[in-house]
Structure 1
């Protein structure tokens, strides 16, 4: 009893200090503990959220080419294959980067028309996929990391060496799907020999993580007013914290595609995204499209879900990708087309091939559906 009275007396004499400490605990310590719990629970997003494939590996006819092996930038051996263009005229070489949980043979559903129209294709297995090994301790996930970036760099280096051995100009195109699209953008941002790139279902890990955290916030709090009215800076702080913990837990870095595309020297880019993509909403591609330099194009595939534009609109998909690379990789004259010299589908779009009106007006319909 005497001890309790002594404690009360101390509190009474130091009430101002007690009030300050209590305020700090309520306003700082408790929120930090809650956020830590939320961030750790939210790491499940990065551990287990897998995107759907457009089709299973047995739902399309494989294309077979010349087997090749080459090292990733960090020395890990990777498996791939070269698909030679059909016909005498070769327009260029395109490096294909498959989606997560797929393999090099995925190129068949996306690249068959390109091979038939004169393009050589280098396709390969990212580490931990298909025939490529995975180093101990690393688990590939749906988010592009510095490891997949090393794989993509290795593939591009191999492609450049192959072109040099063939006595051909060392420039190439990149074609990536979902996570592979992210790796393609990251490499294009640092390599000026990439003349053009087409990406389907591209996203940036940081902004996508923020989207998922906002989307699932209601699971962690019943205060709807709170999670719907947090300022943007709060969510950015939260995503930075989450990526920090992910780096520590998974032992890898998560490069920002958003930052890479913002600093990229202007390169022709074709963005494709499914209108009904519920896994990665089309807004993710729109954000990257806005950051990209000219010329740039975005086709939102009507009714298509994640990675399904090529399934629902096979002919349109083929026409767009072939016409795009014909214009910016396979053509000797790559200037903007004049009215007297139209350029396939891209001259019939809702904006000129330079895409300036679309960027200025905020419209993303740079390629007419």
Structure 2
């Protein structure tokens, strides 16, 4: 009887061990820090010359380096601050995408600079020059952005006007930040192609990229995340934070996005009770809306800000 039981259970045990081992690999692949920016997707290679022109501008424009927890190397956060060409009380805080850094937002930095904004570009946890072993996909980063907001207010005073902007993971970061008790100086949010929740995004990518089911892999990865970063993936959600949001928000999303599916934009929009606008960009893939037409993108942002950031 014991021998038969062992014969039946051994394959299940081996399968469980295999699933756990693969989940650890999956967690490290998705969440562990990398100190380089991966090559962009093939559909955006055609914008390379334009992108590097923005990077050249970014590296030449006068700027300052800001820090959070500067003397604590294990917790130090780093940002670039670009003052407006003419003194301004308007500041945009820009959140970059997954495995990117502040330099990868150079195109948006120039757009807002040309619109008369001061620009603050942080490196998120486990990205660029900031500390951190693991990527938190916006959830822990939202707490850092509260500190960055307070740094702007400290610089510009009570009359400061702050715009929050992010793309991809950065868009979700700002959506997650929206549910917090933010200072009155924060006036509006623009979120470009942010996901509806970390869990939903992981499950979607498990299916699309790895052809794997949600179970048992998502619960295992979520449990690993709980031990490393302190929360289960299902405990945090852009949608739940947006339900608490009181700030006007513009959602932007590419209609052809297959990395963060466009359905998530509709979910986030529906969850929001505050003043809201939704712009679905025809023919745009993930994070491509700006590159399709920088002029049209700036015009759409400007029209939104005419209403909500006078």
**Distance in 2 (alpha carbons) for counterparts of 1:38 and 1:299:** 38
| Runs of 5+ unmatched residues, structure 1 | 1-10, 12-18, 221-226, 228-234, 331-369
Given candidates 46, 54, 72, the residue that maps to 2:30 is 46
Deviation, 1:174, is 0.1
Partner of 1:67: 64
* Superposition pairs of residues 221-260 of structure 1, within 5 angstroms: 235=214, 239-248=218-227, 250-251=228-229, 253=231, 256-260=236-240
Change (3 A) 1:198 1:31: same
Contact 1:92–1:120 (8 Å) recurs in 2: yes
> 1:187-216 CA distances to partner (integer Å, 9 max, x unpaired)?
221133332100112012111012123335
Change (3 A) 1:127 1:42: closer
**TM-score with structure 1 length normalisation?**
0.64
Partner of 1:360: none
1:310 aligns with 2:294: no
| Runs of 5+ unmatched residues, structure 2 | none
Given candidates 254, 267, 270, the residue that maps to 1:274 is 254
Deviation, 1:71, is 0.7
Change (3 A) 1:115 1:262: closer
Given candidates 106, 113, 129, the residue that maps to 1:108 is 106
1:84 aligns with 2:87: no
**Distance in 2 (alpha carbons) for counterparts of 1:181 and 1:292:** 14
Given candidates 105, 115, 118, the residue that maps to 1:117 is 115
Contact 2:89–2:156 (8 Å) recurs in 1: no
1:189 aligns with 2:179: yes
**Distance in 1 (alpha carbons) for counterparts of 2:218 and 2:236:** 12
**Distance in 2 (alpha carbons) for counterparts of 1:142 and 1:237:** 21
Change (3 A) 1:133 1:116: closer
Q: Aligned pairs, how many?
A: 289
Contact 1:145–1:252 (8 Å) recurs in 2: no
**Distance in 2 (alpha carbons) for counterparts of 1:237 and 1:142:** 21
Partner of 1:296: 276
Contact 2:125–2:136 (8 Å) recurs in 1: no
1:212 aligns with 2:205: yes
1:159 aligns with 2:152: yes
Partner of 1:144: 138
CA RMSD, Structure 1 to Structure 2 (Å): 3.7
**TM-score with structure 2 length normalisation?**
0.75
Partner of 1:319: 299
**Distance in 2 (alpha carbons) for counterparts of 1:51 and 1:197:** 28
Change (3 A) 1:313 1:236: farther
> 1:67-107 CA distances to partner (integer Å, 9 max, x unpaired)?
03131598524232133154x6x462221112234333344
Deviation, 1:236, is 7.9
Deviation, 1:45, is 5.7
Structure label with greater radius of gyration: 1
**Distance in 2 (alpha carbons) for counterparts of 1:168 and 1:272:** 28
Contact 1:85–1:117 (8 Å) recurs in 2: no
Contact 1:62–1:105 (8 Å) recurs in 2: no
3-state SS in 2 of match to 1:191: coil
3-state SS in 2 of match to 1:58: helix
Deviation, 1:40, is 4.6
